[in-house]
Amino acid sequence: MKRITLLINCNDSKGIIASITSYIQQQKGNIVYIDQHVDREDVMFFMRLECEFSKDIFLIEDFRTHFSKTIAEKFEMTWQLYDSDLKPKMALFVSKYEHCLYDILSRYSSGELEVEIPLIISNHPNLEHVAKSFNIPYYCIKVTKETKSEAEDLQLKLLKEHQINFIVLARYMQILSSKLIEDYPNKIINIHHSFLPAFPGAKPYHSAFKRGVKIIGATSHYVTEDLDEGPIIEQDITRVSHTHTIKDFILKGRDLEKIVLSRAIKLHTKHKVMVFKNKTVVFI
Amino acid sequence: MKRITLLINCNDSKGIIASITSYIQQQKGNIVYIDQHVDREDVMFFMRLECEFSKDIFLIEDFRTHFSKTIAEKFEMTWQLYDSDLKPKMALFVSKYEHCLYDILSRYSSGELEVEIPLIISNHPNLEHVAKSFNIPYYCIKVTKETKSEAEDLQLKLLKEHQINFIVLARYMQILSSKLIEDYPNKIINIHHSFLPAFPGAKPYHSAFKRGVKIIGATSHYVTEDLDEGPIIEQDITRVSHTHTIKDFILKGRDLEKIVLSRAIKLHTKHKVMVFKNKTVVFI
Amino acid sequence: MKRITLLINCNDSKGIIASITSYIQQQKGNIVYIDQHVDREDVMFFMRLECEFSKDIFLIEDFRTHFSKTIAEKFEMTWQLYDSDLKPKMALFVSKYEHCLYDILSRYSSGELEVEIPLIISNHPNLEHVAKSFNIPYYCIKVTKETKSEAEDLQLKLLKEHQINFIVLARYMQILSSKLIEDYPNKIINIHHSFLPAFPGAKPYHSAFKRGVKIIGATSHYVTEDLDEGPIIEQDITRVSHTHTIKDFILKGRDLEKIVLSRAIKLHTKHKVMVFKNKTVVFI
Amino acid sequence: MKRITLLINCNDSKGIIASITSYIQQQKGNIVYIDQHVDREDVMFFMRLECEFSKDIFLIEDFRTHFSKTIAEKFEMTWQLYDSDLKPKMALFVSKYEHCLYDILSRYSSGELEVEIPLIISNHPNLEHVAKSFNIPYYCIKVTKETKSEAEDLQLKLLKEHQINFIVLARYMQILSSKLIEDYPNKIINIHHSFLPAFPGAKPYHSAFKRGVKIIGATSHYVTEDLDEGPIIEQDITRVSHTHTIKDFILKGRDLEKIVLSRAIKLHTKHKVMVFKNKTVVFI
């Protein structure tokens, strides 16, 4: 069987669900999962479908063309179609922190993450040994104010060469410029070490400590031009108290960062996240 | 518009979703929510649908008959149909503890719970003043070993008279006999003060204290003949430490009990819980 | 036995703990609990002691004088002494929301809160029936721009008359002026319906919804002149998703608000909270 | 400065705290942290002290002898004394699962865990490459029914040779016999993949799935002769729903296992756990 995943959003109107499900049936497909959401305020309809088709008769490109003409145009849909059997290609960007990198690579090596990781890009040489121990190519591209544009050109070239589908910033300590962001819209996942929108920007654990909060958090979001303001995919928190120093905040936060980031990666990998008006619909 | 909620389960097979959604469309209905789940192990299909129909032409009893013949029989469905505009009638059973009672009644009085509460039944007179302050009839029916059967007859009579749809045991400290349970299958909601299946039966906080656990919980479940073994609707937990006495466990536990019980009541009220093989499918 | 609670903070230096504990022993006291914290950054020492003395020979006012001269002056301590057997007197301020009020009063009526509640003050008549059902005097003092100063004079008069020790704003929808705040420094507890410092000010649930967060929170803090910027006593959170409307946020938030507020009240009541540099040390 | 950690428990009686703190002062020590707990039911006193002494005049063995005679005997204390600057030596036991191993070693390599890891012992060769990439000796000792006793002799020999202080079973899929347990009382830390006492023994995720729980957990405890019944050090939980398969339970559980196990290791390493009557006092 061939399995596909279909993500759809459009203005809500009567009969959309029935139209889509009937269409799939007419194409001899079987719906395996259906998830749907209606945003009442914006009158927007969102749907995620997983369907199976007999391999003998199904051609994904034919389906793409036919669905577009028959259904998508009629309802003026924004939609994506994915081959569920293809593993997306993920690029990892890191700097000097290793906890997220180890966490992602050990999940990858155990088969938990259904992705390919063709390369790791870093602005520092420090973590090359980690990449090496998992047999993944590691490209060290230094970034300074002067070389930033050049460095990003080089990064982009590598991403294109390896046909990267999405990028994960695993505590990459650089701000991306619009050049990269525009090429990967809602396809760059960042982990910010605070419970956004509290404590955006640099040194959030220091700010949290100073404010005397009793809970700290981590937030995984898609990168947009506005720093730490992109659509939130996942968040989680942990308790702290007056007994914890900033160093404790940082250590406790690391455990959050890696869990929250890996959850976001999995959701993205399975095409379970849809973005609308800087918010996400996450079909769990 | 008339809104209905449809709960369906049957053996999984191809084309079910399309059949149902097409049927709704043919009946001039609009699907507002659709939730579906397939249990791969048991090859069972579960669905919850909310649909709207024009009031002019829709008669719920006609729909019931027609759906049964056209769709339900074909797929050998187990199904229920609810008028979404009707508030279910809920009976509260209490003993001496007031925290769950106050919590439920203050939610009821603020309009948070979409139910009617025609009566409160207790085996003690202690909480009558609470019922009174919310203007709800309170029936004190004493229960002893000797009078248990008689007492349950009286309880059943009251439940029938008030056309009760489901029962909530808000820390009712009596074990129900099969007489009541059989009449309200998966319609009696209990709150057990532990993280089931840990610590079933009496005095779970004492057992949890003795075992030295670092987390205690509460579990809301449907009542079956097997004590504390019915299908779990909702659970939650809170942290404890060596500094907490049994009394602290009990106080902390109360906050869990009321939250967990009220969540279960809301899920049940909105027909979001389906039971299969002593487990629940909860469409959130 | 007479039990007292002693809260101490001062610059950290060698031998403080030994000095205090030896002093208590010399006074024939027995230390029942000792909690201590050192803020390394500010080199500040914090301690909470519970001690028992024989009733025959112990006079709390003598102890106060003697401790002050012998120990407190030497280390330049800031300190408070409480009679552990005296229940503090708490004033409740409410507006129209009843969930926190019901929650606090049902805990009070079950003996869970070790306080006296001599009065409830509101700017609306709506919740008088709740106060009445718990037999607590309810003062409705309307507050408009023009009458605010007058209203606060009246509030202060009532607070003084009833010898109120601390105030709880149980969703009181008015900003207090410095007149009240100065008279009750770190003695006015507010519940803010967001995870501060995210979403201060009005309508936090609306802002959280708009930002698309996956977790909402509630924060209990002492009131200072800076709105929603006082020392945080307690926080908690709950998960939300795209399926939740603003109304759902509000309902889920209420469960947080009442739990978080009641925890803060209990900590304050047992003298477990110390304030320093707009942060709290909470001895749990 | 020389820093020591002192763990004490004995029957509770008047004046213990003052006696100990005065003693430390007389010895020219400075108390840096003091944590204390009284178990009211068992009338037991527990204390953890961190003290600093001038390196010039302090000899830990002299202190040990003098404290024993002067204080410990008088109150019939059970007590331990640790040099806070010495990193304890930890042996890791693993089988085939790599998630806990990677997690522990990446914390170790980043300096987060203040231990030495002289060796890893396994009953399988599978994870040798992981050990190698962190430069830690890996001993593969096969265990069958027939060779179990022999294998444990060999393990014990290695543990003694490397002067191991405590053992961590990082998903080691073998039951230890009393030979090992008796030699390391409350010094073998296990991670069990359920919320104990629910689902002890084999395949807890399968049992949890079958029962239809809404929350799963992990438990770190000291190993005793009674399987999964040792003193609990730490627990945590995560939510599951009907949408999760057993495989999902296992993957979600892994994230719990590694976090909970690493927390237990840290608590043990810093001498923050005391055991009494099969329960733990954990000074956080």
ipTM field: 0.94
3-state secondary structure of D156: helix
User: Do D63 and D112 fall within a single domain?
Assistant: no
Q: Distance, in angstroms, between B210 CA and closest chain D CA?
A: 8
d(CA C11, CA C23): 19
Q: What pLDDT is recorded for position A37?
A: 95
pLDDT at D40: 87
Residues of B with CB under 8 A from a CB of A: 14-15, 17-18, 21-22, 24-25, 30-34, 36, 38
| D66 and D138, same domain (yes or no) | no
B&D contacts, CB < 8 Å: 77
Nearest-Cα distance to chain C for D195, in Å, is 21
The count of structural domains within chain D is 2
Confidence (pLDDT) at D274: 98
Chain A residues contacting C via beta carbons under 8 Å: 37, 39-40, 195-199, 211-215, 217, 231-237, 241-243, 245, 278-282, 284
CA–CA separation, D160 vs B34, rounded Å?
A: 63
Would the pTM of this model clear 0.90, i.e. be above it? yes
Chain A residues at the D interface, defined by Cβ less than 8 Å, are 98-99, 102-103, 106-107, 109-110, 112, 129, 133, 243, 251, 254-255, 259, 262, 284
Same domain, D43 and D146: no
- How would you list the strands of the sheet with C89-94, edge to edge? C138-140, C116-122, C89-94, C166-169, C188-192, C215-222, C232-239
**A31 interaction partners in chain B (CB closer than 8 Å):** 17-18
Residues C222 and C123 in one domain: yes
C15 plus C110 within the same structural domain: no
Q: Is the pLDDT at B49 greater than 90, yes or no?
A: yes
Contacts A110 to D, Cβ<8 Å: 98-99
Bond into D197 cis (ω within 30): yes
CB B255 within 8 Å of CB B236: no
Residue B161 contacts by C-beta under 8 Å, 6 or more apart in sequence? none
Of C99, C133, C284, the CB nearest to B110: C99
Last residue of a domain, one of B25, B50, B83: B83
**pLDDT at site D72:** 96
Quick one: closest CA in D to C53, which residue?
D14
Q: At C284, is the pLDDT very low, low, confident or very high (cuts 50, 70, 90)? A: confident
Are C45 and C113 in a shared domain? no
End-to-end CA distance of chain B: 24
What whole-number distance in Å separates Cα of residue B266 and Cα of residue D220?
A: 35
- Nearest Cα neighbor of C38 from C215, C234, C256, C281 is C281
CA dihedral A96, A102, A104, A109 (to 10 degrees): 140
pLDDT of residue D56: 81
State the Cα–Cα distance between residues D123 and D140, nearest whole angstrom: 6
Enter the DSSP assignment of A77: -
d(CA C54, CA C3): 9
Distance CA A29, CA A58 (A): 9
Nearest CA in chain B to C244: B284
> Pick from D18, D52, D2, D14: which is nearest to D32 by CA?
D52
Q: Which residue in the set C195, C231, C281 is minimally distant from A195, CB to CB?
A: C195
What CATH number corresponds to the domain at position B35?
A: 3.30.70.260
Q: List residues in chain A touching B: CB distance below 8 A.
A: 14-15, 17-18, 21-22, 24-25, 30-34, 36, 38
Edge-first strand listing for the sheet containing D78-83 = D30-39, D44-53, D2-11, D78-83
Please state which of the ranges A259-263, B207-211, C36-40 shows the lowest mean pLDDT: C36-40
Between CA C198 and CA A237 the distance in angstroms is 14
The pLDDT of D240-264, averaged and rounded, is: 96
Whether A68 and A164 map to the same domain: the answer is: no
Using DSSP's 3-state secondary structure scheme, residue C108 falls into helix
**DSSP for B49-108?**
EEEEE-TTT--HHHHHHHHIIIIITTTT-EEEEEETTSPPEEEEEE-S--HHHHHHHHHH
The verdict on C130 and C224 lying in the same domain is: yes
Give the per-residue pLDDT at D1: 87
> DSSP secondary-structure letter at D186?
T
On the question of pLDDT at B55 being above 90, the answer is no
Q: Which of A55, A127, A128, A120 is nearest to A85 (CA)?
A: A55
Query: So what's the pLDDT on residue B14?
Result: 86
A216: domain CATH number is 3.40.50.170
Kindly list the residues from chain C whose CB atom is less than 8 angstroms away from the CB atom of residue D30: 14-15
Task: Please compute the mean of the pLDDT values over residues C31-59 and round it to a whole number.
Answer: 92
The length of chain B in residues reads 284
Distance from CA of B232 to the nearest CA of C (A): 20
Q: State the nearest Cα–Cα gap between C10 and chain D, in angstroms.
A: 15
Mean pLDDT for the stretch of residues C84-108: 96
Q: Are B237 and D232 inside 8 Å of each other by CB?
A: no
Q: Are B131 and B137 in contact (CB under 8 A)?
A: yes
Burial label for D108, CB within 10 Å (0-12, 13-18, 19+), is buried
Kindly report the nearest CA distance between residue B102 and chain C, in angstroms. Answer: 7
- Percentage of residues of chain C with pLDDT beyond 70: 100
Please state whether C197 falls in left (phi above 0), alpha (psi between -120 and 50) or beta.
Answer: alpha
Residue D71 and residue D24 share a domain: yes
What is the average pLDDT score of chain C?
Answer: 95
Q: Is the pLDDT reported for residue C153 higher than 90?
A: yes
Q: What tokens were used for B191?
A: 């709150």
> Tell me, what's the pLDDT at D84?
92
SS3 C123: coil
Q: Are residues A74 and A168 in the same domain?
A: no
Residues D151 and D270 occupy one common structural domain: yes
**What is the average pLDDT value for chain B, to the nearest integer?**
95
Q: Is B148 exposed, middle or buried (0-12, 13-18, 19+ CB in 10 A)?
A: middle
Of B83, B100, B127, the one marking the end of a domain is: B83
pLDDT at C55 over 90: no
Which domain range does residue C199 map to? 89-282
Closest-CA residue to B257 (of B115, B99, B67): B99
Show which of D34, D55, D83 is a domain's final residue.
Answer: D83
Q: In this prediction, what percent of chain B has a pLDDT beyond 90?
A: 93
Highest mean pLDDT among C10-14, C157-161, D108-112: C157-161
CA distance D168 to D90: 7
Same domain, C35 and C101: no
